[in-house]
Amino acid sequence: MCTVCFCGVVEDEQATCLTMCLCYSSASEDLGCRRGDFSRKHYGSVELLISSDADGAIQRAGRFRVENGSSDETSDYTPGTWRRTDVHLENPEYHTRWFFKYFLGKVHQNYVGTDAEKNPFYLSVVLSDQNNQRVPQYRAILWRKTGTLKISLPYSPNKTLSVKSILSAMNMDRFEKGPREILNPEIQKDLLVLEEQEGSVNFKFGVLYAKDGQLTDDEMFSNEVGSENFDKFLNLLGDAITLQGWAGYRGGLDTKNDTTGIKSIYTVYQGHELMFHVSTMLPYSKENKQQVERKRHIGNDIVTIVFQEGDDASSSFKPSMIRSHFTHIFALVRYNSQNDSYRLKIFSEESVPLFGPPLPSPPVFTDHQEFRDFLLVKLINGEKATLETPTFAQKRQRTLDMLIRSLYQDLMPDMHKNMLNRRSFSDVLPESPKSARKKEEARQAEFVRIGQALKLKTIVRGDAPTSLVTTGLYRKEPWESQSFCSTFPYEIVCADSWGQSFLVSTDTAGVMLLDGETLPPVQVFDKTMVVKQMHVLEPQDLLITRADKGKDARLYVFRLSALKRGLEERQLVRSKCDCRENKLEKTKGCHLYSINTHHGSELRIVAAIRNKLLLITRKHPRFEGPSAAATGTDSPVEEFQYIREICLCDPPVVMALVDGPTGENDNMICVAYKHQFDLINESTGDAYRLHHVDANRVNFVAAIDVYEDGEAGLLLCYNYICYYKKVCPFNGSTPMIQSNTSDFHFSWNQMPNAIVCAFPYILAFTTDSIEIRLVVNGNLVYTAVVPELQLAASRSDIYFVSSAPVSSASNCSSRDTSSQSSPQTPTGYEMPMFPSPLGDGEAACKHIFKIPLCNLVGRSIERPLKSPLVNKVLTAPASVMVPPTPLISATHSLSLSRMEIKEIASRTRKELLGDTTDSTQPDSTVALCYFELESYLSVRYRLGSESTEADLDVQLHCSTSSEVEPEKVLLRAESPPVASAFSLTTSFEEDVLDLK
């Protein structure tokens, strides 16, 4: 039997079954029906929590969002029923700290100006190659007191962007004073301080031990020691470190005089240093019942873990038991010794925005490493979310306002000098006059030198953002792409999936059916049938297309079973003339159409003919599979009826059908035109303003209907903005369109060409990247670089086209390739030279990739097995024109076993300390290390216990030799104590190359 569609074809004959062997129902199609439904209930519900102390007195009440993973907290756990929730750091620093990663220490430009309200602002612009994928682009950061705005703009060699056009893309068109360039290289230090206001890359969390039956914070803080289970939990969190002399992140603890305890728990997770304030490790005082010293640290932590002894049926913890105005999130952990599992419950103060990952149901973890990953990511995401609450956001805005105004006042004396006036509204990377080239080249060299020194200092201090590339084990992400067809020679106009195959409309070769790499394409329509839009509806046995353009454009409807039969019988390829019976005649001149997304309801089509909407429905209920052929005709045209026409003031650019709760007189149509989104009542044709776009230019992208717990909502996507708007049902003739607490918006980093919802993710497809965020809060989780990207289809599985070869696109969608090679920094006055997308001798062919929808919406899918470690090959860097010294290549994403780590440590020790018979090695008084500056992602230099900070003399050498890459620097430690204590710490979690 055919394993694809179970059509009865034996395995030996599967090759003759071709791609025509199509399923009428696929897992992807079923999942596609569920993409529009989601619920915030996965993230808990807000409750008023009240508790009483030991004397029965009522403690202060508070409103907290409670996450317990299930409605019944005490429900029994059945082994094997746990379902995964994808665990991701939200807004990871590696993707969000743009200035540190892409600007600092590289040639870029900074501008200062004042907006129409006379508030100063700064603009930073850099032109770089996006993660070495041969995708040149501009990155821009707008610094304002309300926060930072980051966007990417495509690079065109024939059109240099101006500062004014970049600000216009950021919706800034009016100024009190036009931006002027700041040429002082010291501005990099001030902008780095502004970026650091986004929050620390390192975190401190409280850990409070509570015995069974304890109801007050005084009782919990008075526990002098913990239990065996508590110690086991602490060992899971991290390592016990001695505070005295500790050189890493200390989280506010005393590392000199032991005033905050002798030991603490510390770990590094995905590039973040985490220090835990453990109640039983902080100083204990028998005389002080309130244990002020312990409360001073844990009470001032934003996030606190409460480890409570006892079974689940015992008295439960409530946040009101802890008297703290600062702690916003509590993670309640219980350990069950019977099945060696942990149960987790999260309390978040009401004002904290939603953050993931949502707890599994039930919230019980038998895999301890799985629990550790989930807990740490949940805590890190929780603290980041708390910084967006009004309390913290207002403080950050006041600080930003003060810093920006102070910096502006410092720059005022220079505003009248040539340094600032010389290049007002200049091109982003202008060519200097020949007479000024040497001066400009010297200025840029100094600019780079100071920036690299600042970057190095941040690395040594331990504040460098290094998430993402330090996860250690390779983990397959849900958006991992699969190669579907590696060499497709035509431009794709539109497409949709049909079973396991892919129906594609091309620009010059008609419509083809692809079955990946195994079989050649099969032509369905010839080139006379120019299809601009299509939908394959397998449950309805329908293919809907919009063909031709202008006045000749029409909608065509076909039976999939008839097309399938024709292909199996190897009939002639259909032409436009053969499709005359499939026309929907009243749709002549149609330039756009949309259908409702939920297959359970009646099929509805709305066709836009200039400024007129034509509503079409299907007369008969949908047919089940091949039984549709029983009607006796190959054309389903007679099954469609024209309901009504609705006139608009302008032709729509984007449309979406919204299903009402009853389906009777409450269905709606969302249309976008001019500067607005309107909501149209299908029954009456009345239009209501849904959202106005306040921008000079509007690029409408999509309006996507989503349903939260069955209630309709819309994702309105335009320019760089995605706005979620709750749409209440019609009340009589008037829809209730008003601001809702669930409404929110977020900004994309690059302007999308298409948006796809695959809950819990929302994906933006731009010209050269896939930006992946969470639907529930808009937080970024990943950006994949895909050169010359085009979304082809997304109704079921997601198909996209790229100019990148298979291996390149596969890598960029699973791991950030910038961890292997950093972009080249321009060191002189010239524009950076980027290779063309096509190399010498390469053919202009397209590569089609597929992202299975079941992976993205797989909340109920079993967690896949972890991939084995991938051996990392260390390559030696190029030779340099310096005295002979050992060169060490430092790579970012290390995936090495501990034996390999030890071997590298041993070899590195010999090279650094001269422990070798090679006469070219340096002696022990000088240790040299030559490495790429961008490798701060995996290399951190720290002093050993035998030296002091003053002993380390780090010199930055910017070589002008053509043999030296400009982003590489030379570190020299000129002190015997330092040379003997010099240690190299990699980003591989908790693994240290000990060179002592």
Answer CATH for 37-73+201-388 from 3.40.50.150, 3.40.50.11210, 2.60.40.1530, 3.30.420.40: 3.40.50.11210
The list of the chain residues with pLDDT below 50 reads 1-30, 32-33, 71-82, 418-422, 424, 468-473, 622-631, 732-733, 810, 813-843, 859-902, 904-905, 908-909, 911-996
Scanning the structure block, which residue is given the tokens 């100024």?
A: 175
Handedness of CA 9, 11, 13, 18 (dihedral sign): positive
The length of the chain is 996
Helix (H) or strand (E) holding 20: none
CA distance 508 to 514: 16
Residue 460 corresponds to which amino acid? V
Residue 570: its pLDDT value, please?
A: 78
From the DSSP assignment, how many helices (H) and strands (E) are in the chain? 18, 51
CA distance 870 to 87: 21
Compute CA distances 5 → 29, 47, 233, 768, whole Å.
14, 49, 49, 35
The token pair that represents 115 in the structure block: 């907006």
The beta-strand segments (E) located in 235-298 are 239-242, 263-269, 272-278
Dihedral of CA atoms 233, 236, 239, 240 in degrees, nearest 10, equals 10
CA distance 384 to 241: 26
Compute CA distances 12 → 2, 3, 8, 420, 570, whole Å.
9, 11, 11, 76, 20
The token pair that represents 722 in the structure block: 């995605």
**Residue 611 carries which DSSP code?**
T
Q: Rounded to a whole number, what is the distance in angstroms from the first to the last CA of the chain?
A: 65
CA distance 648 to 842: 49
Residue 740: its pLDDT value, please?
A: 65
pTM: 0.79
Residue 439: its pLDDT value, please?
A: 78
Residue 427: its pLDDT value, please?
A: 58
- Whether the bond into 357 is cis, omega within 30 of 0: yes
Q: Say if residues 77 and 368 touch (Cβ distance below 8 Å).
A: no
CATH architecture of 92-198+392-430: 2-Layer Sandwich (3.30)
Handedness of CA 25, 31, 35, 37 (dihedral sign): positive
Residue 734: its pLDDT value, please?
A: 53
Residue 762: its pLDDT value, please?
A: 92
Residue 171: its pLDDT value, please?
A: 86
Boundaries of every domain in the chain: 37-73+201-388, 92-198+392-430, 476-508+748-806+842-865
Residue 922: its pLDDT value, please?
A: 36
Residue 951: its pLDDT value, please?
A: 33
